[in-house]
């Protein structure tokens, strides 16, 4: 498995600083969500080549998949993001679904989402980029978000039936929404392109809450998963210290970094 940090891990520091820190820690990539805030994509591309690590995930410009009136804006934003992905050699982008629409049935909203994703699929396949659908918890952080459960996300992915549309499984969100983390994180591994990790409660670095990340990461590793696991978390101590602690107390018992 490969490990990534997320932009903001070093507050106030830019993308180049984060890439240098990733190289220093022996990690493998950076998640930079708002690619449109990067001023010079060519400069970033050159820095990635020099450092040997780069941005491995970004986000779509639009996040609403359940409202048919927003489909064209979503597709336009997807096309823009694909251009950025090609310039920076970014293999994947993350999308959420938007909040459920009051007065519209879940079945109708699901149908809208499936149709939009089916229109995305050929664009993604041609570009060789994965679109990752992310369920979010509605109890603590994202009240009203349409897609919250991993099993529903997988059923939508299966209905769309494209190799370039998969799931990002966020352990923090799924612990809050459904629990049963190891079983869900492993039984859906064929549809999962990427994992996010943070502890619960608090969404801080692994090792600060109730989740047993030695067992979780070991179980994921045993499936043969070789994609990215991203530390999408805050830190209770200085970032470098927290990362070293994570490597010593968790990764050393699961995988080699």
In terms of DSSP bridges, do strands 29-31 and 165-170 run parallel, antiparallel, or are they unpaired?
A: unpaired
pLDDT digits (tens, 9 = 90+) for 46-69: 999 999 999 999 999 999 999 999
Asked whether residue 171 carries a pLDDT value surpassing 70, the answer given is yes
What are residue 216's phi and psi, to 5 degrees? -65, -50
Q: What does the pLDDT read at residue 119?
A: 98
Q: What does the pLDDT read at residue 255?
A: 65
Range of the domain at 137: 2-253
Q: What does the pLDDT read at residue 57?
A: 98
Q: For residues 1 and 80, give the distance between their C-alpha atoms in angstroms, rounded to a whole number.
A: 29
Find out whether 93 and 57 touch, Cβ atoms under 8 Å.
yes
pLDDT digits (tens, 9 = 90+) for 201-236: 999 999 999 999 999 999 999 999 999 999 999 999
Find out whether 135 and 152 touch, Cβ atoms under 8 Å.
yes
User: Which residues sit opposite 192 in a β-bridge?
Assistant: 167
Place of tokens 């018992």: 253
Average pLDDT over residues 80-89: 98
Average pLDDT over residues 127-148: 98
- Between 254 and 34, the more confident residue is 34
State what percent of residues in the chain have pLDDT above 90. Answer: 98
Radius of gyration of the chain from its Cα atoms, rounded to whole angstroms: 18
Among residues 31, 62, 132, 232, the one annotated as catalytic is 232
pLDDT band at 83 (very low <50, low <70, confident <90, very high): very high
Q: What does the pLDDT read at residue 130?
A: 98
What is the chain's mean pLDDT, rounded?
Answer: 97
pLDDT band at 256 (very low <50, low <70, confident <90, very high): low
pLDDT band at 257 (very low <50, low <70, confident <90, very high): very low
190 is catalytic: no
Which two tokens mark 130?
């994965």
- Between 255 and 101, the more confident residue is 101
Among residues 134, 178, 222, 244, the one annotated as catalytic is 134
CATH number of the CATH domain containing 81 = 3.20.20.150
Q: What does the pLDDT read at residue 59?
A: 98
Find out whether 227 and 2 touch, Cβ atoms under 8 Å.
yes
31 is catalytic: no
State what percent of residues in the chain have pLDDT above 70. Answer: 99
* Number of domains making up the chain: 1
């Amino acid at each position: 498995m490969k490990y990534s940090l997320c932009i903001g891990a070093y507050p106030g520091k830019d993308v180049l600083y984060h890439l240098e820190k990733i190289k220093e820690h022996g990690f493998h990539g950076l998640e930079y969500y708002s690619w449109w805030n990067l001023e010079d994509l060519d400069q970033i591309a050159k820095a990635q080549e020099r450092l040997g690590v780069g941005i491995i995930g970004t986000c779509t410009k639009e996040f609403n998949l359940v409202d048919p009136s927003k489909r064209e804006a979503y597709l336009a934003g997807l096309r823009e993001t694909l251009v950025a992905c090609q310039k920076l050699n970014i293999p994947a982008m993350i999308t959420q679904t938007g909040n459920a629409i009051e007065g519209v049935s879940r079945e109708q909203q699901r149908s809208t989402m499936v149709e939009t994703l089916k229109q995305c699929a050929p664009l993604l396949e041609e570009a060789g980029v994965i679109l990752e659908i992310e369920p979010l918890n509605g109890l603590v952080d994202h009240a009203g978000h349409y897609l919250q459960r991993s099993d529903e996300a997988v059923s939508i992915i299966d209905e769309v039936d494209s190799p370039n549309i998969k799931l990002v499984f966020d352990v923090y969100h799924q612990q809050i929404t459904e629990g049963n983390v190891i079983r869900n994180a492993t039984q859906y591994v064929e549809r999962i392109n990427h994992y996010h990790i943070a502890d619960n409660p608090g969404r801080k670095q692994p090792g600060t809450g109730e989740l047993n990340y030695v067992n979780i990461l070991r179980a994921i590793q045993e499936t043969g998963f070789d994609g990215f696991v991203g530390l999408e978390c805050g830190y209770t101590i200085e970032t470098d210290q927290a990362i070293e602690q994570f490597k010593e107390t968790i990764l050393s018992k699961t995988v080699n970094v």
